[in-house]
Amino acid sequence: MTTNPFFTPTQYGAADACALLGASFQWTGSKDSSVPEMVSTMSSAVSAKADGIAVAVVDKNAFESPVAKALDAGIPTVSYNADGAKGDPGTSRLCYIGQDLYQSGVELGRRIASVMPSGGDAVGFIATPGALNIQPRIDGATDAIKASGKSINFKSVASGAELPQELSAIDAYASGHKDLKGLFAVDAGSTESVGKVVKKYGLKKKGVVAGGFDLNPNTLTAIKAGDLDFTIDQQPYLQGFLTVLYLWMYKLSGGLVIPSVTDTGLLFVTKDNVDPYLQTKTRYEGSSTKQQLIKRSGAIGHA
């Protein structure tokens, strides 16, 4: 989705890789997650004989043919951020660069179970139900909550594809469901909006727990303020940087260096470890436009 703030660091990652390699890229698709629009722009890239294509496979059926056509035309094609359904990428892409989406949902569900020991009503907001960059998270969270045995009534609710719509939908839902004990989200915009709604109605004082995904600046501020309990980092910068690097290496090597499936990981960001994200404004989290070297010191945490 071209307007989602989640992809700001992804675009910086792609731009930085291009600067390093002497390449260029075009960021295109759909502003509201319209699959036909995404397929159309991919077809245009194939017709224009792009040197490489990266696509978020949010619909495994819709992208099967476009990816095949790109590969048939000799254009290396990878998926990023979304890779079809759990256990079924649906396309013949060369590799996937992004988070294991279902497993991240499982970890979200386990965290929900741990922060809601007494159970109660909880909601999981999802921008575009069925979109395979976020639907696996809701599915994983639901499965993990059920497996926990906790008496948590977890409901999935659509919030909308753009930030103003998400905020309005989440505000309305929270206002109409006064007994909620947990507000969660599986996408960047919805998570940011959850934090704003929790603050607006003082829900933390009422014992409500909240959390979600990604590192929008407003989300990090909400964690520091205590309005969100956690968010999950999936390294969006790497999803842009590595995508360009892998495509470039494939072209450079004449196809001998096959790009490898890369899990960009999962890290819970809480009040305990949010400070480094807030104290330094960088392209890596989308909070600055500046290309810069970020120095660190001290021991690196480990098990």
Cβ neighbours, 10 Å, residue 83 = 29
pLDDT at 252 > cutoff 70 = yes
pTM of the model: 0.88
Is residue 29 within 8 Å of 41, Cβ to Cβ? yes
Give the rounded distance of the alpha carbon of 210 from its chain centre.
17
Phi, psi of 98 (to 5 degrees): 165, 180
Pairing of β 230-233 and β 267-269:
antiparallel
Torsion of CA 234, 238, 244, 250, to 10 degrees: -90
Q: CA 249 to CA 104: how far, in whole Å? A: 29
Longest dimension (CA), the chain: 60
Report CA-CA distances (Å) from 52 to 91, 194, 300: 16, 37, 36
Mean pLDDT calculated for residue range 174-185 = 97
**Cβ-count burial 128-155 (b if 16+ within 10 Å, e if not):** beebbbbbbbbbbbbebbeebebebebe
Mean pLDDT calculated for residue range 228-240 = 96
What integer pLDDT is reported at residue 296 of this predicted model? 84
What integer pLDDT is reported at residue 46 of this predicted model? 97
Mean pLDDT calculated for residue range 232-237 = 95
- Residue (of 253, 237, 234, 239) closest to 96 by Cα position: 239
Q: CA 122 to CA 125: how far, in whole Å? A: 10
The percent of residues above 90 in pLDDT, for the chain, comes to 83
Is residue 76 within 8 Å of 255, Cβ to Cβ? yes
